[in-house]
Amino acid sequence: MATLDAKIPPGPLSDKWTKYRSTCKLVNPSNKRNIEVLIVGSGLAGASAAASLGELGYRVKVFCFQDSARRAHSIAAQGGINAAKNYQNDGDSVYRLFYDTIKGGDYRAREANVYRLAEVSASIIDQCVAQGVPFAREYGGLLSNRSFGGTQVQRTFYAAGQTGQQLLLGAYSALNRQVHLGNVQVFSRHEMLELVLVDGKARGIIARDLESGKIERHSGHAVVLASGGYGNVFFLSTNAMGSNVTASWKAHKKGAFFGNPCFTQIHPTCIPVSGDYQSKLTLMSESLRNDGRVWVPKAKGDKRHPAEIPDQERDYYLERRYPAFGNLVPRDVASRAAKQVCDEGRGVGQSGLAVYLDFRDSIKRLGEPVIRERYGNLFEMYEKITGENPYHIPMRIYPAVHYTMGGLWVDYNLMTTVPGLYALGECNFSDHGANRLGASALMQGLADGYFVLPYTIGEYLSGEIRNKPTSTDHPAFADAEKEVHERISRLMSVNGKQTVDDFHKRLGNIMWNYCGMARNEQGLTKAKNMVRELRAEFWKDVRVPGAAAGLNPELEKAGRVADFLELGELMIEDALTRKESCGGHFREESQTEEGEAKRNDDDFAYVGAWEYKGSETAPVLHKEELKFEEVHLTQRSYK
C-alpha cells in the first residue's frame, strides 16, 4: 500500500526549491530522446508541460477530447494571473504572494508547494511576454496590473477579460512549435479511458478516438494528467460542457489517492438558472461588487418589480451583516449569504433562486457613462443572455460552482501515489487549500507545466533510462483495453428509458442541495444513499443511442456521468469526515455564534487523501498532516 510521503525537501522554506533545482537528478540529452511521456489534457498545465518537455528533448504525446488543443477550458478564464513582480512598487514580494495564498486557502494547503508557486510566478509573466502574449499595457509601454480579492497589492496581469484565452494561445503556440519540430504529437478528439500499470508503475493509457470510436493503446515512460477539475459533478457550473473527472477517476481507481474531494469553490456572482433546460452557468466578474449593491426584499415572496420596492422594504443583507467589508466580502461568505436569504423564501426572479445586484445608486452617484466605461462589456454579456438591461433593472445573480480545489493527491514532485503518474493544474489538489484566490488558477497551471514538472519529472525518469518503452502488446495493455471495451458495451446495452442528462441533472441536484454551499451530517448521510441509488438506477435505466463505433457524443457523456456518479459519493464521504468549516467547505455544525465558518485546526489541519478500495468497499482515508512553520493560523473575520 502506498504511504503519504510529501517528499518536501529539507531546509528553510525560501531555499527549498533553489536547492532542489540545483541537486535534482537529470537525464542527459541522448537519453531524453528515448523517453516518451504521455500528457492528458491540453489546457494551461498540459500544453505548457508538453511544450517544455518537448523543448528538453523528450518525446511527447498530448491527448485532448476537443477538436483542437486550443479549446481546453483554460481558454474561458477571464480576470487575470497573479505574479510577485512588484512592478507597482506597492510592497509585493514572493513571501507576500505565498502568505496571501495560504491564508486565502484557509490554511489547508502545503506551505512548500505554495512557496514554490510564488517563487516561479514572476518567470511565468516573462515567458508569456516572450511568446507574444498581448497583456494590457500602460501608455509608457510597460505592463499594467490590477487588484483582485484577498490581497492588498496590485499583482494581477491581464488581457482585457480574456486572460485565460491569451495565456492558453501562448502555450498552444509553444506546443505547436514542438509539433512543427517533431517532438510532440497531438491527439485531438481523443479521450483517456484507462490507465495502464506495469509492475505498479504508470506505463500507458487506453484512449478512445472519439471520431472513429477506435480504442487505442499508447505506451510511455510516464503519464502526466492535466485534465482539469470536476465541477461538472454538479451538472450546472461555470465549467465547459465537456469538463470531466474521467482521467483523474480512472487513475484514482488504479491507485492514485484523491485529495480533499469536498473542497469546491462556489462563485457568488453568476447569471442564475432560468429553466430546467439550462445547460451551464455564466460568470459575472467579481469586480461588479465594487459598484453594485446586493439586496433582496425584506418580505417573503415579494414578487413586485424591483423598482416598486422602496428602500425601507429592501434588505441589503451583506452591508447589514458585514459592515466592514460590505458587498466585497470574500467569495465563500457572499455565496453562503445569498443562499440563506433564498432559503428563507426571499429570493427574486421566476425561480426565487436569485438576488439583486443593483447599480441604481452608483449610476445616480457617478452617471451612466462612468458605469458603462467600467463594466460595459459585462453589462452587454448580461443583456445578451437575459434580455434585460442592467442599467435600468438590477442584475439577478446567484452563486454557481466554479472551481475544484480538491484533486489527485501529489507530492512535492507533483507525482501521485502511483509511481510515474503525475497530476498538474486543477486536477491536482495541491496549492489552493480550501479556497482559491482569484487569478491564481492560471498561475498554478503554468507554474506546474513550464517551471515545476520539467525539473521534477527528471527525478523519476533518470531511473528509467535503462528501460525500453513498454510494448503495447504487454498483457497489462490487453487487460486495460478489455476493461474499456466491456464498460462501453455495458453502457450501450442497458437500453433503458432515461437519457444521460436526466441522470446528470438529478446527480447535480443532490450534490448541490446536500454537498454544495452548506453541508450537515444529516443531509450528507441522506445524499450518500441517494447517490448510490441513482448510480444503481443509471446502470439499469440509462439509454445511450447510436453505436460504439464512430462519433457518439452521448456515449462520451455517459462514460463521464458514470464516473461523476462514483466521485459524488467520495465527495460526500469527505465532507462527512471533515467536521469543521474551512474555506468553501461549510459544515453547519461548525459555525461561530454569528453563523460564520469555524475551523478546527486541532483535529483537521490535514489533507484528506482517499484510497479507492473497490466499488462495494468503503474508501480508506489517509491523512497528510499540514505543518505550518512560517505562517500563524488565525480565524478569518469580515465584520
Scanning the structure block, which residue is given the C-alpha cell 470531466? 244
87 binds other proteins (CB under 8 A): yes
Residue among 235, 451, 477, 512 that touches other proteins (CB under 8 A): 451
Residue 127 contacts residue 61 (beta carbons within 8 Å): no
> Strand, helix or coil at 593?
coil
Q: Work out how close the CB of 17 gets to other proteins at its nearest, in angstroms, rounded to a whole number.
A: 14
127 binds other proteins (CB under 8 A): yes
Residue among 75, 397, 421, 434 that touches other proteins (CB under 8 A): 75
For 135, other C-beta atoms within 10 Å of its C-beta total 19
What is the spatial distance between Cα 195 and Cα 217, in angstroms, rounded to a whole number?
Answer: 10
What is the spatial distance between Cα 102 and Cα 105, in angstroms, rounded to a whole number?
Answer: 5
User: Of 81 and 415, which has the nearer Cβ to other proteins?
Assistant: 81
User: Of 198 and 273, which has the nearer Cβ to other proteins?
Assistant: 273
88 binds other proteins (CB under 8 A): no
Q: Work out how close the CB of 183 gets to other proteins at its nearest, in angstroms, rounded to a whole number.
A: 11
User: Of 85 and 622, which has the nearer Cβ to other proteins?
Assistant: 85
591 binds other proteins (CB under 8 A): no
Mapping DSSP onto H, E and C, the string for 353-395 reads: CCEEEECHHHHHHHCHHHHHHHHHHHHHHHHHHHCCCCCCCCE
129 binds other proteins (CB under 8 A): yes
Tell me which residue of 150, 326, 246, 291 sits closest to 555, measured CA to CA: 246
Number of helical (H) and strand (E) elements in the chain, helices listed first:
18, 19
Question: CB under 8 A: which stretch of 47-55, 334-342, 389-397, 582-590 binds other proteins?
Answer: 47-55
What is the spatial distance between Cα 353 and Cα 342, in angstroms, rounded to a whole number?
Answer: 6
Q: How far is residue 513 CA from its own chain's centroid?
A: 20
Residue among 22, 23, 29, 139 that touches other proteins (CB under 8 A): 139
Residue among 46, 228, 242, 330 that touches other proteins (CB under 8 A): 242
Site string for other proteins, 485-524 (x = CB under 8 A): ------------x-x-x-----------------------
User: Of 71 and 116, which has the nearer Cβ to other proteins?
Assistant: 71
Question: CB under 8 A: which stretch of 192-200, 239-247, 406-414, 516-524 binds other proteins?
Answer: 239-247
For the segment 140-199, give every residue that binds other proteins (CB under 8 A): 140-143, 159-160, 162, 165-166, 169, 172-174, 176-177, 179-180, 186, 188
Point out the residues that are catalytic.
331
User: Of 210 and 421, which has the nearer Cβ to other proteins?
Assistant: 210
User: Of 364 and 384, which has the nearer Cβ to other proteins?
Assistant: 384
631 binds other proteins (CB under 8 A): no
275 binds other proteins (CB under 8 A): yes
What is the spatial distance between Cα 555 and Cα 193, in angstroms, rounded to a whole number?
Answer: 12
Question: CB under 8 A: which stretch of 312-320, 383-391, 510-518, 617-625 binds other proteins?
Answer: 383-391
240 binds other proteins (CB under 8 A): yes
Site string for other proteins, 204-233 (x = CB under 8 A): -------x----------------------
Tell me which residue of 81, 171, 85, 56 sits closest to 444, measured CA to CA: 81
Residue among 32, 59, 61, 71 that touches other proteins (CB under 8 A): 71
Phi, psi of 494 (to 5 degrees): -60, -50
What is the spatial distance between Cα 348 and Cα 67, in angstroms, rounded to a whole number?
Answer: 40
Which sign, positive or negative, has the C-alpha torsion 84, 87, 90, 91?
A: positive
**Angle CA 172–175–181, to nearest 5:** 145
What is the spatial distance between Cα 368 and Cα 261, in angstroms, rounded to a whole number?
Answer: 44
What is the spatial distance between Cα 136 and Cα 612, in angstroms, rounded to a whole number?
Answer: 46
Binding residue count for other proteins, defined by CB under 8 A = 78
